[in-house]
Homo-oligomer: A and B are copies of this chain.
Amino acid sequence: MPRWQPNPREQLTRAALSLFAERGYENTTVVNIVERAGLGKTTFFRYFRDKREVLFGADSPVDAAGEIAAAPAGTSPLEAVAAALDAAGAQAFTPDRRETLALRQSVIDTNPELQEREALKSIGLAAAMTDALRQRGFPDLTSSVAAELGTLTLRIAFDRWIAAANTADFATLARQVLSEVRAAAAQ
């Protein structure tokens, strides 16, 4: 019975992340990555333009704006944001991806340029959620506040989710953080 093999993209991602963690992002080359994965350079460049794309290349598997747009009529701004967080838990932050995402985050945390890139992604997400809320007819300021609180909730819930001692699933953590964030905002 043949052993299950992850697809090449996944193999390359795992090889890259373990090398980034072992010897540092700066000290890892594409050649190192393909050697570790047992694949060729051509395969690497079929999936990624460079090593940074291993960390940032994949389109977000969650369409937060689409989830907000699809929420039932009458949903409040923060409830629409919560629906997007639920989708993140169901589609992106699944138990089988937790270890890989934790490793990815530990690599990003060591490098200011990668941290900037991650921060800009977060800003892009907040802008997309703000637009989606506006399109539901909420005022600009209301939309911005809900999107910023949602982005902050995502960040905090993600940190808790990848923390070593955590046993809860992402959606549960996100709901809990969102209620803490609402309480803090109301103080």
Contacts and interface: CB of A to CB of B under 8 A. Distances in A.
Interface of A: 76-78, 116, 119-120, 123, 141-142, 144-146, 148-149, 152, 156, 177, 180-182, 184-187
Contacts of A116: 120
Given A120-B119, A123-B123, A142 B187 contact: yes
Contact of A141 (B120, B144, B180, B186): B180
A125 to B, nearest CB: 12
Contact of A152 (B77, B148, B184): B148
A17 to B, nearest CB: 25
A184 B120 contact: no
A91 B145 CA distance: 26
Contact of A184 (B123, B142, B181, B187): B142
